[in-house]
Amino acid sequence: MNITVAGRHVEVTPALEDHVKKGVEKLTKFTDDILEVHAILGVEKRSHRAEVNIQADGYFLHGDSTTDDLYKSIDVALARIQTQILRHKEKIQNHRLRRKEETGVIKKLGVQVQVLAGEDVEMGEKNPRVVMSRNYAIKPMSVDEAAMQMDLIHQEILVFINSENQRLNVLSRRKDGNYELIDPKV
């Protein structure tokens, strides 16, 4: 596990670095999936901010806090991440229990997502550019688990295989905060 601690307008002392490392060690009691940890500590006037980003195996976690004490901010940010880990584990456990009851074959598909952007798309031109391309494996999950995964990785759109009907679905977040499910029937 790689842990990096950076400071904004504050010198990162060995004591601060130790405090972050001890907090992350406590998180490893709940999950062994943690690959990288990035902590950003900052001080502005009287507010002390701690922002912790964790890359785990297959998902991202984010916690931040602003208090009057930097150590307290670190503790609160890590506590928020701990809550996310526990919520994620509970959802996975419930999903596995439901999965045992089903008699379907688990499929894994590979999908390539390309994001189009620029004036061409906005103006309706015929030649939009591909500005970003991502490859990732799609796994079967319920709609609730897909919504939770979207929140964990901070994405607006998620492509997944619906475990209820074994079809490729797209879940997107609407501007009003609700979700829209696209379930094509082929």
- Can you give the residue range of the structural domain that contains 142? 109-182
Using one digit for the tens of pLDDT, what is the confidence trace for 36-50?
999 999 998 889 999
Position 98 scores a pLDDT of 66
Instruction: Kindly state whether residues 39 and 122 are assigned to the same domain.
Output: no
Residue 168 phi, psi (nearest 5): -70, 125
CATH of the domain at 14: 3.30.160.100
User: Do 140 and 149 meet the contact criterion of CB atoms below 8 Å apart?
Assistant: no
Instruction: Kindly state whether residues 72 and 16 are assigned to the same domain.
Output: yes
Instruction: Report, as an integer, the average pLDDT of 74-101.
Output: 80
Q: Exposed, middle or buried, 25 (CB in 10 Å: 0-12/13-18/19+)?
A: exposed
d(CA 169, CA 146): 10
Model confidence at 106, in pLDDT bands (50, 70, 90)? very low
Instruction: Kindly state whether residues 133 and 88 are assigned to the same domain.
Output: no
Last residue of a domain, one of 101, 133, 154: 101
Q: Is the pLDDT of residue 5 over 60?
A: yes
Instruction: Kindly state whether residues 52 and 96 are assigned to the same domain.
Output: yes
d(CA 40, CA 51): 5
Instruction: Kindly state whether residues 85 and 151 are assigned to the same domain.
Output: no
Position 122 scores a pLDDT of 45
Position 17 scores a pLDDT of 92
Position 145 scores a pLDDT of 87
Using one digit for the tens of pLDDT, what is the confidence trace for 136-180?
677 788 888 888 888 877 788 888 888 888 888 999 988 888 889
Position 113 scores a pLDDT of 53
Position 128 scores a pLDDT of 64
d(CA 62, CA 85): 10
Q: Is the pLDDT of residue 111 over 80?
A: no
Model confidence at 93, in pLDDT bands (50, 70, 90)? confident
What percent of the chain stands above pLDDT 70? 77
Instruction: Kindly state whether residues 89 and 33 are assigned to the same domain.
Output: yes
Model confidence at 73, in pLDDT bands (50, 70, 90)? very high
Query: How many domains, the chain?
Result: 2
Instruction: Kindly state whether residues 25 and 50 are assigned to the same domain.
Output: yes
Instruction: Report, as an integer, the average pLDDT of 63-85.
Output: 91
Instruction: Kindly state whether residues 119 and 172 are assigned to the same domain.
Output: yes
Own/partner pairs, 19-26, CB within 8 angstroms, 24+ separation:
19/71, 19/74, 20/52, 20/74, 23/74, 23/75, 23/78, 24/54, 24/78, 26/78, 26/82
